[in-house]
Amino acid sequence: MAGSAGMLMPLQALITSSAAGPLGGYLPAALLSALTSLACMLVASICIPAARRGWQKFGSVWRERTIPRWFILAGLIGAYYMVAQAMSVGSIGLALFAVAVVGARTLSSILIDVIGFSPAGKQPITRQRLVGAVLLVAGATVAAWGTGARAAEDPLAPVALAVAVVAGLLVSFQQSMNGRAGQAYGSTATATTVNYLASISGLLVAMVVLAVLGVESFGFAAAPQWWMYFAGPLGILFVITGVSLVPKLGALVLGIGLVTGQLVGSLLMDLLLEPENVRGNEIIGTLVTLLAVFVTSWRRNGRPTWKAKTS
Protein backbone atom coordinates (compact mmCIF):
# COMPACT_ATOMS: atom_id res chain seq x y z
CA MET A 1 0.00 0.00 0.00
CA ALA A 2 2.82 2.41 0.86
CA GLY A 3 4.61 1.64 -2.38
CA SER A 4 1.42 2.09 -4.42
CA ALA A 5 0.77 5.52 -2.87
CA GLY A 6 4.37 6.55 -3.50
CA MET A 7 4.15 5.54 -7.17
CA LEU A 8 1.50 8.20 -7.78
CA MET A 9 3.47 11.06 -6.22
CA PRO A 10 5.62 11.86 -9.32
CA LEU A 11 2.40 12.18 -11.33
CA GLN A 12 0.98 14.57 -8.73
CA ALA A 13 4.19 16.63 -8.82
CA LEU A 14 4.08 16.80 -12.62
CA ILE A 15 0.42 17.93 -12.59
CA THR A 16 0.99 20.57 -9.90
CA SER A 17 4.10 21.89 -11.65
CA SER A 18 2.22 22.10 -14.98
CA ALA A 19 -0.65 23.96 -13.29
CA ALA A 20 1.72 26.62 -11.92
CA GLY A 21 1.91 28.38 -15.32
CA PRO A 22 -1.77 29.02 -16.03
CA LEU A 23 -2.59 29.60 -12.35
CA GLY A 24 0.14 32.16 -11.76
CA GLY A 25 2.58 30.34 -9.49
CA TYR A 26 3.30 27.30 -7.36
CA LEU A 27 1.19 28.48 -4.42
CA PRO A 28 -2.05 28.75 -6.44
CA ALA A 29 -1.29 25.36 -8.03
CA ALA A 30 -0.84 23.80 -4.58
CA LEU A 31 -4.01 25.57 -3.42
CA LEU A 32 -6.02 24.05 -6.28
CA SER A 33 -4.72 20.60 -5.30
CA ALA A 34 -5.61 21.15 -1.63
CA LEU A 35 -9.09 22.50 -2.44
CA THR A 36 -10.00 19.52 -4.63
CA SER A 37 -8.66 17.21 -1.89
CA LEU A 38 -10.77 18.96 0.72
CA ALA A 39 -13.90 18.72 -1.45
CA CYS A 40 -13.39 14.95 -1.80
CA MET A 41 -12.78 14.53 1.94
CA LEU A 42 -15.89 16.53 2.89
CA VAL A 43 -17.98 14.19 0.76
CA ALA A 44 -16.30 11.22 2.43
CA SER A 45 -16.94 12.74 5.87
CA ILE A 46 -20.66 12.78 5.13
CA CYS A 47 -20.89 9.35 3.50
CA ILE A 48 -18.60 7.26 5.72
CA PRO A 49 -20.05 6.37 9.17
CA ALA A 50 -16.60 6.16 10.81
CA ALA A 51 -15.82 9.66 9.55
CA ARG A 52 -19.05 11.04 11.02
CA ARG A 53 -18.14 9.47 14.36
CA GLY A 54 -14.69 11.01 14.05
CA TRP A 55 -16.16 14.50 13.73
CA GLN A 56 -18.32 13.82 16.78
CA LYS A 57 -15.13 13.11 18.73
CA PHE A 58 -13.29 16.11 17.26
CA GLY A 59 -14.48 18.62 19.86
CA SER A 60 -13.68 16.44 22.86
CA VAL A 61 -10.25 15.55 21.47
CA TRP A 62 -9.30 19.22 21.23
CA ARG A 63 -10.92 20.23 24.53
CA GLU A 64 -9.21 17.43 26.44
CA ARG A 65 -5.93 17.87 24.53
CA THR A 66 -5.81 14.17 23.68
CA ILE A 67 -3.27 15.23 21.08
CA PRO A 68 -1.21 18.44 21.25
CA ARG A 69 -2.92 21.33 19.52
CA TRP A 70 0.21 22.15 17.57
CA PHE A 71 -0.41 18.95 15.59
CA ILE A 72 -2.47 21.24 13.37
CA LEU A 73 0.91 22.21 11.88
CA ALA A 74 0.89 18.87 10.04
CA GLY A 75 -1.34 20.48 7.42
CA LEU A 76 1.10 23.36 6.98
CA ILE A 77 3.91 20.87 6.41
CA GLY A 78 1.76 19.23 3.76
CA ALA A 79 1.28 22.58 2.02
CA TYR A 80 5.01 23.24 2.14
CA TYR A 81 5.76 19.81 0.68
CA MET A 82 3.35 20.36 -2.23
CA VAL A 83 4.98 23.70 -3.09
CA ALA A 84 8.49 22.29 -2.70
CA GLN A 85 7.70 19.32 -4.92
CA ALA A 86 6.14 21.45 -7.65
CA MET A 87 9.03 23.92 -7.55
CA SER A 88 11.66 21.21 -7.85
CA VAL A 89 10.33 19.81 -11.12
CA GLY A 90 11.21 22.97 -13.04
CA SER A 91 14.50 23.65 -11.23
CA ILE A 92 16.34 20.46 -10.29
CA GLY A 93 14.01 17.75 -11.59
CA LEU A 94 12.23 14.94 -9.79
CA ALA A 95 15.33 12.76 -9.52
CA LEU A 96 17.46 15.18 -7.50
CA PHE A 97 14.44 16.19 -5.45
CA ALA A 98 13.91 12.52 -4.59
CA VAL A 99 17.55 12.09 -3.50
CA ALA A 100 17.42 15.17 -1.25
CA VAL A 101 14.11 14.09 0.28
CA VAL A 102 15.23 10.47 0.71
CA GLY A 103 18.39 11.41 2.61
CA ALA A 104 16.67 13.93 4.89
CA ARG A 105 13.61 11.78 5.41
CA THR A 106 15.66 8.73 6.35
CA LEU A 107 17.47 10.68 9.08
CA SER A 108 14.27 12.17 10.51
CA SER A 109 12.48 8.79 10.34
CA ILE A 110 15.25 7.13 12.36
CA LEU A 111 14.99 9.94 14.94
CA ILE A 112 11.19 9.57 15.13
CA ASP A 113 11.41 5.83 15.66
CA VAL A 114 14.11 6.22 18.34
CA ILE A 115 12.16 8.78 20.40
CA GLY A 116 8.81 7.06 19.80
CA PHE A 117 7.08 10.09 18.29
CA SER A 118 4.99 8.06 15.83
CA PRO A 119 1.86 6.16 16.92
CA ALA A 120 3.86 2.95 16.49
CA GLY A 121 5.87 3.93 19.57
CA LYS A 122 9.60 3.38 19.93
CA GLN A 123 10.99 1.20 17.17
CA PRO A 124 14.40 -0.43 17.62
CA ILE A 125 16.94 0.70 15.04
CA THR A 126 18.24 -2.76 14.23
CA ARG A 127 21.07 -3.66 11.89
CA GLN A 128 18.44 -4.83 9.40
CA ARG A 129 16.69 -1.44 9.36
CA LEU A 130 19.96 0.46 9.07
CA VAL A 131 21.00 -1.68 6.10
CA GLY A 132 17.63 -0.96 4.48
CA ALA A 133 18.03 2.78 5.07
CA VAL A 134 21.53 2.77 3.54
CA LEU A 135 20.28 0.79 0.53
CA LEU A 136 17.44 3.28 0.07
CA VAL A 137 19.74 6.31 0.00
CA ALA A 138 22.24 4.49 -2.23
CA GLY A 139 19.52 3.44 -4.67
CA ALA A 140 18.07 6.93 -4.91
CA THR A 141 21.56 8.38 -5.49
CA VAL A 142 22.35 5.87 -8.24
CA ALA A 143 18.98 6.52 -9.90
CA ALA A 144 19.66 10.28 -10.02
CA TRP A 145 23.29 9.97 -11.09
CA GLY A 146 24.11 12.22 -14.02
CA THR A 147 21.13 14.56 -13.61
CA GLY A 148 23.19 17.32 -12.01
CA ALA A 149 23.86 19.03 -15.35
CA ARG A 150 20.29 20.28 -15.49
CA ALA A 151 20.49 21.66 -11.97
CA ALA A 152 23.83 23.35 -12.67
CA GLU A 153 22.18 25.45 -15.38
CA ASP A 154 19.60 26.89 -12.95
CA PRO A 155 20.84 29.63 -10.57
CA LEU A 156 18.06 28.72 -8.13
CA ALA A 157 19.12 25.06 -7.93
CA PRO A 158 20.88 25.43 -4.51
CA VAL A 159 17.75 27.02 -3.08
CA ALA A 160 15.56 24.27 -4.54
CA LEU A 161 17.84 21.61 -3.03
CA ALA A 162 17.68 23.28 0.39
CA VAL A 163 13.88 23.45 0.14
CA ALA A 164 13.80 19.74 -0.76
CA VAL A 165 15.99 18.79 2.23
CA VAL A 166 13.72 20.67 4.63
CA ALA A 167 10.69 18.99 3.04
CA GLY A 168 12.27 15.58 3.63
CA LEU A 169 13.05 16.38 7.26
CA LEU A 170 9.50 17.54 7.96
CA VAL A 171 7.36 15.04 6.05
CA SER A 172 8.06 12.15 8.45
CA PHE A 173 6.92 14.31 11.36
CA GLN A 174 3.79 15.25 9.40
CA GLN A 175 2.82 11.63 8.85
CA SER A 176 3.47 10.75 12.49
CA MET A 177 1.31 13.67 13.67
CA ASN A 178 -1.47 12.72 11.27
CA GLY A 179 -1.23 9.09 12.38
CA ARG A 180 -1.63 10.03 16.05
CA ALA A 181 -4.50 12.36 15.15
CA GLY A 182 -6.23 9.58 13.23
CA GLN A 183 -6.00 7.32 16.28
CA ALA A 184 -7.41 10.06 18.53
CA TYR A 185 -10.37 10.76 16.24
CA GLY A 186 -10.88 7.10 15.45
CA SER A 187 -11.11 8.07 11.78
CA THR A 188 -8.52 8.42 9.03
CA ALA A 189 -10.92 10.59 7.02
CA THR A 190 -11.32 13.11 9.86
CA ALA A 191 -7.57 13.46 10.35
CA THR A 192 -7.04 13.87 6.60
CA THR A 193 -9.77 16.52 6.32
CA VAL A 194 -8.28 18.53 9.20
CA ASN A 195 -4.89 18.23 7.49
CA TYR A 196 -6.24 19.81 4.30
CA LEU A 197 -8.09 22.56 6.15
CA ALA A 198 -4.79 23.59 7.74
CA SER A 199 -2.98 23.31 4.38
CA ILE A 200 -5.47 25.61 2.68
CA SER A 201 -5.29 28.14 5.52
CA GLY A 202 -1.49 28.20 5.36
CA LEU A 203 -1.45 28.60 1.57
CA LEU A 204 -3.98 31.45 1.67
CA VAL A 205 -2.02 33.30 4.37
CA ALA A 206 1.21 32.88 2.39
CA MET A 207 -0.43 34.15 -0.79
CA VAL A 208 -1.88 37.21 0.96
CA VAL A 209 1.47 38.07 2.56
CA LEU A 210 3.36 37.73 -0.73
CA ALA A 211 0.72 39.77 -2.57
CA VAL A 212 0.83 42.56 0.05
CA LEU A 213 4.64 42.65 -0.09
CA GLY A 214 4.50 42.80 -3.87
CA VAL A 215 6.53 39.62 -4.31
CA GLU A 216 3.81 37.84 -6.30
CA SER A 217 0.67 39.05 -8.01
CA PHE A 218 -0.88 35.60 -8.63
CA GLY A 219 -2.50 36.56 -11.89
CA PHE A 220 -4.47 33.78 -13.55
CA ALA A 221 -3.28 33.41 -17.14
CA ALA A 222 -5.86 30.77 -18.01
CA ALA A 223 -8.42 28.48 -16.43
CA PRO A 224 -7.01 25.16 -15.20
CA GLN A 225 -7.49 22.24 -17.56
CA TRP A 226 -9.61 19.30 -16.43
CA TRP A 227 -6.65 17.00 -15.68
CA MET A 228 -5.11 19.55 -13.30
CA TYR A 229 -7.84 18.79 -10.76
CA PHE A 230 -6.55 15.23 -10.30
CA ALA A 231 -3.52 16.34 -8.24
CA GLY A 232 -5.78 16.60 -5.19
CA PRO A 233 -7.16 13.04 -5.20
CA LEU A 234 -3.62 11.70 -5.74
CA GLY A 235 -2.48 13.66 -2.68
CA ILE A 236 -5.34 12.20 -0.62
CA LEU A 237 -4.00 8.70 -1.16
CA PHE A 238 -0.56 9.82 0.05
CA VAL A 239 -1.93 11.39 3.24
CA ILE A 240 -4.37 8.56 4.03
CA THR A 241 -1.63 5.99 3.53
CA GLY A 242 0.56 7.79 6.04
CA VAL A 243 -2.26 8.10 8.59
CA SER A 244 -3.23 4.44 8.23
CA LEU A 245 0.15 2.75 8.03
CA VAL A 246 2.51 4.70 10.28
CA PRO A 247 1.04 3.03 13.42
CA LYS A 248 1.74 -0.39 11.85
CA LEU A 249 5.08 0.17 10.15
CA GLY A 250 6.80 2.98 12.02
CA ALA A 251 8.23 6.07 10.35
CA LEU A 252 11.33 4.49 8.79
CA VAL A 253 9.72 1.47 7.10
CA LEU A 254 6.76 3.58 5.91
CA GLY A 255 9.16 6.13 4.43
CA ILE A 256 11.14 3.43 2.64
CA GLY A 257 7.95 2.04 1.11
CA LEU A 258 6.67 5.45 -0.01
CA VAL A 259 9.99 6.61 -1.44
CA THR A 260 10.60 3.33 -3.28
CA GLY A 261 7.14 3.65 -4.83
CA GLN A 262 8.01 7.22 -5.80
CA LEU A 263 11.17 6.09 -7.61
CA VAL A 264 9.34 3.22 -9.33
CA GLY A 265 6.63 5.67 -10.42
CA SER A 266 9.24 8.08 -11.79
CA LEU A 267 10.88 5.27 -13.77
CA LEU A 268 7.54 4.13 -15.21
CA MET A 269 6.65 7.71 -16.21
CA ASP A 270 10.01 8.08 -17.95
CA LEU A 271 9.50 4.77 -19.77
CA LEU A 272 6.07 5.93 -20.98
CA LEU A 273 6.83 9.57 -21.79
CA GLU A 274 10.55 9.65 -22.67
CA PRO A 275 11.82 6.07 -23.08
CA GLU A 276 14.85 7.26 -25.05
CA ASN A 277 16.09 9.19 -21.97
CA VAL A 278 15.88 6.27 -19.52
CA ARG A 279 19.39 5.35 -18.36
CA GLY A 280 20.66 2.10 -16.95
CA ASN A 281 21.58 3.71 -13.62
CA GLU A 282 17.96 4.76 -13.12
CA ILE A 283 16.82 1.15 -13.48
CA ILE A 284 19.62 -0.17 -11.23
CA GLY A 285 18.93 2.47 -8.56
CA THR A 286 15.24 1.64 -8.51
CA LEU A 287 16.02 -2.08 -8.12
CA VAL A 288 18.30 -1.25 -5.18
CA THR A 289 15.48 0.63 -3.45
CA LEU A 290 13.21 -2.38 -3.97
CA LEU A 291 15.89 -4.45 -2.25
CA ALA A 292 15.75 -1.95 0.64
CA VAL A 293 12.02 -2.65 1.06
CA PHE A 294 12.68 -6.39 1.06
CA VAL A 295 15.44 -6.09 3.67
CA THR A 296 13.53 -3.87 6.11
CA SER A 297 10.28 -5.86 5.92
CA TRP A 298 11.80 -9.36 6.02
CA ARG A 299 10.55 -11.61 8.79
CA ARG A 300 11.70 -15.16 9.51
CA ASN A 301 8.32 -16.72 8.60
CA GLY A 302 6.96 -15.16 11.76
CA ARG A 303 8.43 -17.96 13.87
CA PRO A 304 9.78 -17.12 17.34
CA THR A 305 13.37 -17.94 18.18
CA TRP A 306 14.32 -20.86 20.42
CA LYS A 307 14.88 -18.50 23.36
CA ALA A 308 11.44 -16.98 22.93
CA LYS A 309 9.93 -20.46 23.00
CA THR A 310 11.67 -21.52 26.19
CA SER A 311 10.85 -18.27 27.94
Tens of pLDDT, residue by residue over 226-282, are: 888 888 888 888 788 878 888 888 888 888 888 788 778 877 877 887 777 677 877
The percentage of the chain sitting over the pLDDT mark of 70, rounded to a whole number, equals: 88
Compute the mean pLDDT over every residue in the chain, rounded to the nearest whole number: 80
DSSP 49-94: HHHHHHHHHHHHHHHTTSS-GGGGHHHHHHHHHHHHHHHHHHHTHH
What does pTM read for this prediction?
0.76
Which tens digit of pLDDT belongs to each residue from 130-171? 888 888 888 878 877 766 555 556 667 778 778 888 988 898
For the segment 176-182, the average pLDDT, to the nearest whole number, is 89
Which tens digit of pLDDT belongs to each residue from 47-86? 888 888 889 898 888 888 888 888 888 889 988 887 787 7
| Structure confidence at residue 300 (pLDDT) | 60
| Structure confidence at residue 143 (pLDDT) | 75
For the segment 197-215, the average pLDDT, to the nearest whole number, is 85
Are 85 and 262 in contact by the 8 Å Cβ rule? The answer is no
| Structure confidence at residue 307 (pLDDT) | 44
Instruction: Cite the DSSP H helix spans in 145-230.
Output: 148-152, 157-185, 188-213
In whole angstroms, what is the distance from residue 141 CA to residue 258 CA? 16
